[in-house]
Structure formats: structure tokens, C-alpha cells
Amino acid sequence: MAKVYYEDSVQGDQLEGKKIAIIGYGSQGHAHSQNLRDTGHDVIIGIREGKSADAAREAGFDVFPVSEAVKKADVIMILAPDEIQGDLYKNEIAPYLEAGNALAFGHGFNIHFDVIQPPADVDVFLVAPKGPGHLVRRTFEEGFAVPSLFAVQQDATGNARDIALAYTKGIGATRVGVLETTFKEETETDLFGEQAVLCGGTTALVQAGFETLVEAGYQPEIAYFEVLHELKLIVDLMYEGGMEKMRDSISNTAEYGDYVSGPRVVTAETKARMKDVLTDIQDGTFAKGFIEDNKNGFEKFYGLRKEQQGHQIEAVGKELRDMMPFVNNK
Ligand code: NDP
Ligand code: MG
Ligand code: MG
């Protein structure tokens, strides 16, 4: 069993007296900065002018251009989109880093795939909450947190690990549990999870199920309820008590069907494809494609996004959700 760190595991506060610059004020950025401020830390925001900068000012933060924030800070947490971090680092961060600073990330991508190569005299660590930013903030306000990972890539000061742990405590994560990982493990497992299961696997499964029913002549509205809407209820049960609790809660008919039909859909062949996805992540093929497409104005990415937005399940779903005020569709 992996070692789990809680409040008591973190002695003192290695962030005391340090200025923390959060670079970016989006999903993760707003949550990290507000949580850290609420736990008594000195936080400033480094960002370009725009909607996020306005939101940060509205929340009462001092906002600076990225280079200014880096100059002022001891700990620099980069929470800008992964695909722009390389250029942002080169132009607005690297020239202003000082020996003994800590450079931090919410995801290991750019360090692991060598897009960013920090100098030897700074600490490099990551703190990755295992959940979206709005939950990182909301659960903190409720007195809990989202479990998080941390990892140290480079320990220049001899304190990198303690600073990283203090950071996890500062965002509240040690209230519920923090695990240590490496940049390699965090990056590869995070990408695999979102591609094969959480995002890619699930959307492909839902879509194929919807199409199968609609092509067989069933009403799209009924198909939507059966394969998308109810998914949340099932996933909630799995979240609370694993497959066992979910299977305990569904009918015997559903449970029997689960055992006999699930493996007919997700087969040994599917698992072999998952291994291919993992290989592409591990050998850098995925990262290279993503980075190159970004250089190309995200032509492929935006094309795929547009194609998916046009799927029938989205139009049907929008109409049905409008009829269900209890579903939060803001
Ligand atoms: P978002 O897209 O939500 O936010 C990005 C922020 O960066 C925005 O405030 C944006 O401001 C700002 N930004 C964009 N371009 C620039 C620029 N050129 N200079 C300065 N600021 C800029 O990102 P996420 O929070 O989703 O992701 C941030 C990091 O956290 C990533 O490394 C991601 O992998 C990681 N992560 C994300 C999770 C999530 O749930 N979203 C979960 C765990 C980790 P503007 O409004 O001006 O565009
Ligand atoms: Mg991710
Ligand atoms: Mg049913």
C-alpha cells in the first residue's frame, strides 16, 4: 500500500515567508490560489490581461504580468494550459528565475516530455489534485479537499520535498490524503486515464451505445436516458463503494447482464488497443502529436472538436436537460 500523507505528516510550514506566484487563473489556478490564501499564504497571480486577470482582481489578488510575478516570487506554480507552457516558460519565466526558487507544476507533461528544461539551481516539483479545479475549491470550502499527488523532479535546495508537501497542505489536500509519485508516473497515468477511460473511453462507449439504439429504430430521447443520463447515477455508486456497491444497488437482471455482456463489449481486443494507447503515451508519440498540432494552430484538434459537437446525442441531450431543471446545466 502506498504511503499516504495527512496533516500531521507535514512538520512546520516550508512556505512561510515565501511569496507564491500562481501563473494562470483558470480551473486549477483559481482554486490553488484561493485555497493557499485561505491557509495564510502570500499569493500573487501572474497572467496576461483578459478575463482571467479580471477574475483574479475581482477575487482580491494582486495581478502582474507573468515576468513581474516570477521576479517577485520564491515559488512559481505554472497553471497555464499545457500546450502554451513551453513558450511561456522560455519568454516570460526562465529569464527571471533566481537560484533557490521553486518551479512547480500541476501536471508533469512539459518536464517529463522535455519541453521545459529548468536550470539546475531551482527546485522542481508538481502538485496535482486528482479532480477538476472547481472541486478543488468547493471541497476546500466544505472542509474537505480533493486527494492530490506530489512529486519532486529536482531538489536544488535540499528542501524541495518539504516545500512540495507544504504546498499540498496549503491547498488543503492533506486533509484527505496525499500520495507521492514521480513526474513520469503522474504524466503517463494521467494521460492514460483521461484517454482510455475517463474521457476518451467513456465518450466513445456512450456514443456507440447511443448510435446502436438509434440505428435499431429506438427514440433518441430514450437512448439518451439509457446510455448517458443514467451513467452518472451508476458512476456515483462506484465512486462511493466501488463496483460492489454499484452491483449491489442495481437489479439482479442488470447485474446478470453486466457479467455476461460487459466482456462482449470491452474485449481482449479493447485491452490490446488500450496497451497501444499507453505505448503512444510512453514513447512520446501522443505528446509529439499534441505539440505539433498546437504549432499548427490546433487544426486537427479544433476539427475533431467541431465534428463531435455536431453529434445527434448533443442536440437531443440539450433539449432533454432543458426539461430537467434539477440537472445543473449552467
Ligand atoms: P485553464 O485552461 O482552465 O486555465 C489556464 C489559465 O492560464 C487561464 O487563466 C488563462 O488565462 C491562462 N493563460 C492562458 N494563456 C496564457 C498566457 N499566454 N500567459 C499567461 N496566462 C495564460 O487550465 P487548467 O487549470 O485546466 O490547467 C492548468 C494546469 O493544470 C495544466 O497543467 C493541467 O494539465 C493541470 N491540471 C488540470 C486539471 C483540471 O481539472 N483542469 C486537473 C489537474 C491538473 P486566459 O483567461 O487569459 O486565457
Ligand atoms: Mg490530465
Ligand atoms: Mg434500466
| 233 burial type by CB count under 10 A (0-12 exposed, 13-18 middle, 19+ buried) | exposed
pLDDT category at 2 given cuts 50, 70, 90 is: confident
pLDDT category at 330 given cuts 50, 70, 90 is: low
Greater confidence (207 vs 330) lies with 207
By most ligand atoms within 8 Å of CB, the mutation choice from 45, 49, 64, 79 for ligand 1 is 79
Residue 242 Cα, ligand 3 centroid: separation in angstroms?
Answer: 19
- Measured N-to-C along each axis, helices 27-38 and 51-58 cross at an angle, to the nearest 10 degrees, of 20
SS3 call for 21 = strand
Cα dihedral value 173, 194, 326, 142, nearest 10: 0
Task: Compute CA 17 distance to the chain's CA centroid, rounded to the nearest angstrom.
Answer: 29
| Residue 13 is assigned to a ligand binding site | no
pLDDT averaged over the chain? 96
Q: What is the pLDDT of residue 180?
A: 97
- Which amino acid is residue 28, in one-letter code? Q
Q: Please state the domain extents for the chain.
A: 4-181, 194-323
Residue 227 Cα, ligand 1 centroid: separation in angstroms?
Answer: 31
pLDDT tens per residue across span 69-86: 999 999 999 999 999 999
Please report the DSSP string for 122-190 in residue order.
SEEEEEEESS-HHHHHHHHHTT----EEEEEEE-SSS-HHHHHHHHHHHTTGGGT-EEE--HHHHHHHH
Residue 251 Cα, ligand 3 centroid: separation in angstroms?
Answer: 9
Residue 194 Cα, ligand 2 centroid: separation in angstroms?
Answer: 6
Choose the catalytic residue: 30, 32, 41, 107.
107
Q: Which residue lies with its CA nearest to atom 11 of ligand 1?
A: 52
Residues within 6 Å of ligand 1 by CB = 24-29, 47-48, 50-52, 66, 79-82, 84, 88, 106-107, 128-129, 132-133
Above pLDDT 90, what percent of the chain? 96
Tell me: pLDDT of 92 over 70: yes
**CATH superfamily for domain 4-181:** NAD(P)-binding Rossmann-like Domain (3.40.50.720)
The half-sphere exposure of 287 on its side-chain side, counting CA atoms within 13 A, is 21
Q: Which residue lies with its CA nearest to atom 37 of ligand 1?
A: 28
What is the Cα–Cα distance from 202 to 196, expressed in whole angstroms? 8
Residues with CB under 5 A from ligand 2 (ion): 190, 194
Quote the ipTM score.
0.97
- Measured N-to-C along each axis, helices 285-295 and 268-282 cross at an angle, to the nearest 10 degrees, of 60
Q: What is the fold of 194-323?
A: N-(1-d-carboxylethyl)-l-norvaline Dehydrogenase; domain 2 (1.10.1040)
| Residue 58 is assigned to a ligand binding site | no
pLDDT tens per residue across span 200-241: 999 999 999 999 999 999 999 999 999 999 999 999 999 999
What is the Cα–Cα distance from 305 to 307, expressed in whole angstroms? 5
pTM, rounded to two decimals: 0.95
Tell me: pLDDT of 329 over 60: no
